[in-house]
């Protein structure tokens, strides 16, 4: 057992391990995070060529695909295939925590892809231990954020396991990968004519590559799948009502449901109304500025509804402090630091702050806009008698002058001192003998 996870880098033996063909490694196992796409399908054959037995592991986090087909594809390539349905776990243990934290990286990205990585990473470790594997592999490039997330999951949970990242070392372009797949009989439905790289789960869909790499060009309609163009969305608004209990959505339009079901329903209705399209320049952890396009219909609606309810039931100082926590929490998710004491400690604060976040929020969906138009809560701090300017006002306006005097005293004192000439320091007279 080694004290730290090691990265296996073919052809670069510099304080790292090198995989060699031969009897020494013939029966070693590697668990591969398998999506069924081009990169990980090519990775199966590439790993097998290095005398490794591959366990292709696919986690269902809500991606709309045929998981049985993915399993059969891996088996046809000679790998042992495993599938895990983790949709409920993803919703309850990961999405809910992010929702309570109003997690938005750089104020825009709901962290859909980033949030699924620690869940997948945790189960990769579990499968590796069950299978007696020495290695964990993934299909991440050396330019993106996901490599960091998967590697750090292994580092935090199983430092004895070693990491293989084929795309960091094999040096193939996307076009060369496609050719490699054809030469080795790997069935991958991709061509040079469809350049988009996508990732999907319950919380959102990400789209990269192709024309999207030019930040000056508007994303073409063909890049979107979950959301209707706002121009083609219904001409009448749709209203949805979300009920929360301690910060957790428990009902949609009056019908109680689990969080997974609420997210699935909102993805459909909000997507139909053109809600959840995000296009921004993102600061990647590795130092690259990247143009990112996302579709997050349910996340957009739930985050706005949750923030509106918090604004009604939490005092100003708590809201202000929590915003700083939210920014840090979002950064931890994005940077792959889910399995850390800091994230767990922040969760404890957020859970405490969510105790009174109970109530119902109405959101108006119309041609790409999600607008909170109503909210109620038994814990509301909104008091009509204090807020109104009409009859029934009980706010004691005559007390305001004294409050302002005391509140402004530091500023008044500062200004008064600044207007006076500065006194010279006077030395104390020598004490007489």
Q: Which of 23-37, 46-60, 253-267, 394-408 has the lowest mean pLDDT?
A: 23-37
**How remote is the C-alpha of 223 from its chain's centroid?**
20
Q: Are 32 and 54 in contact (CB under 8 A)?
A: yes
Q: How far apart are CA 166 and CA 181, in angstroms?
A: 15
In angstroms, the Cα distances linking 320 to 4, 100, 267, 348, 419 are 39, 15, 30, 17, 33
Q: Which residues of 106-143 are buried (b: 16+ CB within 10 A; e: fewer)?
A: eeebbbbbbbbbbbbbbbbbebbeebebbbbbbbbeee
- Check residue 190 and give its pLDDT: 55
Q: Which residue has the higher pLDDT, 429 or 41?
A: 41
Q: How confident is residue 175, by pLDDT bands cut at 50, 70 and 90? A: confident
How far from 256 is each of 9, 297, 305, 310, 396, CA to CA, in Å?
A: 50, 20, 17, 21, 43
CATH topology for the 6-194 domain: Rossmann fold (3.40.50)
**Lowest pLDDT segment from 11-20, 200-209, 251-260:** 11-20
CATH class entry, domain 218-314+356-376: alpha beta
Q: pLDDT tier at 17 (50, 70, 90 boundaries)?
A: very low
- List strand residue ranges (DSSP E) for 10-52, in order: 29-33
pLDDT confidence of 18, banded at 50, 70, 90?
very low
Segment 319-335 shows an average pLDDT of 98
Cα 277 from Cα 254, distance rounded (Å): 27
Beta-bridge mates of residue 32 = 56, 137
pLDDT band at 276 (very low <50, low <70, confident <90, very high): very high
Least confident of 59-63, 147-151, 154-158, 394-398: 394-398
d(CA 120, CA 149): 10
Domain ranges (residues) in the chain: 6-194, 218-314+356-376
| CA–CA dist 360, 242 (Å, integer) | 6
User: 240 in helix, strand or coil?
Assistant: strand
Active site residues: 39, 117, 146, 197
Q: Is the pLDDT of residue 321 over 60?
A: yes
131, two tokens? 């299978």
pLDDT for residue 393 is more than 60: yes
Strands (E), 115-274: 135-137, 162-164, 197-201, 204-208, 238-245, 248-252, 255-256
Mean of the pLDDT values across residues 124-148? 94
């Amino acid at each position: 057992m080694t004290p730290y996870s090691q990265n296996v880098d073919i052809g670069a033996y510099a304080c790292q391990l090198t995989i060699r063909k031969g009897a020494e490694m013939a029966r070693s196992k590697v668990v591969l995070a398998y999506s069924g796409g081009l990169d990980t399908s090519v990775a199966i054959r590439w790993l097998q060529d290095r005398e490794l037995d591959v366990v292709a592991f696919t986690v269902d986090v809500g991606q709309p695909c045929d998981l049985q087909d993915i399993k059969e594809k891996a088996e046809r390539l000679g790998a042992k295939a495993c599938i895990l349905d983790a949709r409920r776990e993803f919703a309850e243990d990961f999405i809910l925590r992010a929702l309570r934290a109003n997690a938005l990286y750089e104020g825009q990205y709901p962290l859909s892809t980033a949030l699924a990585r620690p869940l997948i990473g945790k189960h990769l470790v579990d499968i590796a231990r069950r299978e007696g594997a020495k290695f964990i592999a993934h299909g991440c490039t050396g330019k993106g954020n996901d490599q960091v997330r998967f590697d750090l999951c292994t580092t935090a949970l199983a430092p004895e396991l070693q990491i293989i990242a084929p795309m960091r070392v094999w040096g193939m372009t996307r076009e060369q990968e496609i050719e490699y797949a054809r030469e080795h009989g790997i069935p991958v439905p991709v061509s040079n004519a469809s350049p988009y790289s996508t990732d999907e789960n319950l919380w959102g869909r990400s789209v990269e590559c192709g024309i999207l790499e030019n930040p000056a060009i508007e994303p073409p309609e063909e890049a979107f799948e979950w959301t209707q163009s706002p121009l083609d969305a219904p001409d009448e608004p749709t209203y949805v009502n979300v009920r929360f209990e301690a910060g957790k959505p428990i009902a949609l339009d009056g019908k109680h449901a689990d969080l997974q079901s609420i997210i699935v329903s909102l993805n459909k209705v909000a997507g139909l109304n053109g809600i959840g399209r995000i296009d921004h320049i993102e600061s990647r952890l590795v130092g690259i500025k990247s143009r990112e396009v996302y579709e997050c219909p349910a996340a957009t609606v739930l985050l706005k509804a949750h923030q509106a309810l918090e604004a009604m039931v939490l005092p100003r100082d708590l809201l202000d402090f929590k915003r700083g926590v939210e920014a840090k929490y979002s950064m931890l998710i994005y940077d792959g630091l889910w399995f850390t004491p800091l994230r767990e400690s922040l969760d404890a604060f957020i859970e405490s702050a969510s105790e009174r976040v109970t109530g119902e929020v109405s959101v108006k969906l119309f041609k790409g806009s999600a607008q909170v138009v109503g909210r109620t809560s038994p814990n509301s701090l909104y008091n009509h008698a204090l807020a109104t300017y009409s009859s029934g006002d009980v706010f004691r306006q005559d007390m305001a002058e004294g409050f302002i005097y005391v509140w402004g005293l530091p500023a008044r004192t500062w200004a008064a001192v600044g207007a006076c000439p500065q006194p010279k320091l006077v030395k104390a007279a020598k004490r007489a003998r």
